[in-house]
Structure 1
Amino acid sequence: MNIFSNRTASLLTKHGKELVLDEVLPAATGLQVKLTTAYDTDLLGTFTLETPRHGSQLDAARKKAQVGMELLGTDFGLANEGAFVADPYTGMLPWNNELVILIDQQHQLEITGFSSAPAQNAHAYISHWEGLEKFAETALFPSHLLVIKPTDEYHPKSIKNIGTRQQLKEAFEWASANSSKGVIYVENDLRAFANPTRMENIRQATINLANKMNSLCPACQTPGYWIQDIQRGLPCNACGMPTDQEITKIWGCLKCQYSDKEAVKTLRFANPSQCKHCNP
């Protein structure tokens, strides 16, 4: 029995995220998930640029959780917020960061789960139907839905939820007729229910959250005991200069001052291939 068992957390979403949160959390932690759709989360920001997101990814997730708690009158709230960026390795590939937050007002706790992975986030400017057909294949259509706009990505009107060839054809004709430049803009629909690749990453973030919820501080038994920092700088075996390889992980408590260090590897030196001085 833990502090989450048989308690109910609100989940505010319009985009089917309850499917993965409700699958993971009750079994892993005993926490029950109660869905509310009574607030339009698109008002807090859209991927299609109609509404900008104010604040950080964490700010947006926290706001959704707080609104959900107010709507259902509970002191427990869950929420998810995603972000699409360039990959952290080459800076060239589409990447998806997913954050799932749990707010427990009774125990004054805030725990976040996180997952980072490649994204299905293709987009293109198209002038001919044949080009759109080719794009749709690379965008994993129809399992991944599409969005089409006239002219460019900043056009205020769009057709979303495109999941069949007939819908794609009709959206293309509409956007072409309303384009000021003879081209249309097409992209993957990034809402969770429309993008299975993203939904799987939300699942992984939820699993990460569950693991943190089940990790208790050795000193005070508060959930959320997790890695707070990583020390890097394992010396290169060739030149002795510090590398980016990890030396220790520093675990810490969300409530008390307890912390501990965990050696990452037994290696004394890093391979020169990991050294920016030997292998710039």
Structure 2
Amino acid sequence: MAGEERVAEVLRNYSFTFEHRILHDVSLVASTIFQIDSLFLTRRYAFILEVKNISGRLKFSNQSPQLIRTRADGQVDGFDCPAAQLERNVELFQEWLLMHGFHLPVFGVVVLAYPKQIVELAPARTKILFPSNIPSYIRNLPPYPNKLDAEKLDFLTAEILRSHQRFIPTPLCQTYSIYKNEIQTGVKCNLCNMLGMEKFKKGWYCKRCKHHDKMAHKEAIKDWFLLFGDKMRNKDCREFLHIDNPQTATRLLQSMNLQSEGSYRDRSYSMIFQVNSLHFFTNGSKSLIIGSIVATIGSKPSRIGNNHATIGSKSQQPR
């Protein structure tokens, strides 16, 4: 399960005792375009969750906006600092709120998707949580005064839905002049980051760390569309995911809610931007579901979940 999905499941299954709205993968424009992984709205405040799936031992540098990851094999990688990304999103969402006439405090945390992620040095000013800690953290926030009534909270939610930017990025191979044979293919393990998980009947298996994942192919297929931005055929899927059986490839593609066209032999698939659901809660109980937004690829052209693309000698890092 991807980190964003894990956070969504935790928030969906917890019964908060106050009225709130939950949105995921929201892309908005203030002074620039920005994306919020998960947004928790209440009448008192807005709460942003910046979700990260980076495995290994993590050090947040307080001198530079960088996250240092040390893998089990000793390899050291650098990433953009999630704490700095969160601060940027908080500032941009505050700016967006003021542009639309809302005066609401905005807070946020960085969420590490898996407990196996070890933080050796935490950021000085940013709270780090695991998904299971989120409900208690929100529940124990100070009792800020109401800034919105119920009607204005609904209006804010609707305004976010109207403003959401369905951004379709230019294919990365086209943007950076990457040849197809330069792309590292395969399904990546989201625990140890090794490319080349093997397909078994009930999912995918990583030989390095023995991790099983039923849905690992989804990120790889999304990456294919980010890289090439074209119509995917059964053969493309098999080559990219390292599977031999055409029927298996068909099942995986059909599980992705992709648009398809053509006959069985000539069928091709394209990535769509999906409208999902926003859960509306009142007094801790789910009362109805209204339309919401999830951009399945995201609004950042540099976001490549499985680290497939190599640009010159510098790999695009996973989030």
Q: TM-score, normalised by structure 2?
A: 0.26
**Bigger Cα Rg:** 1
Q: TM-score, normalised by structure 1?
A: 0.28
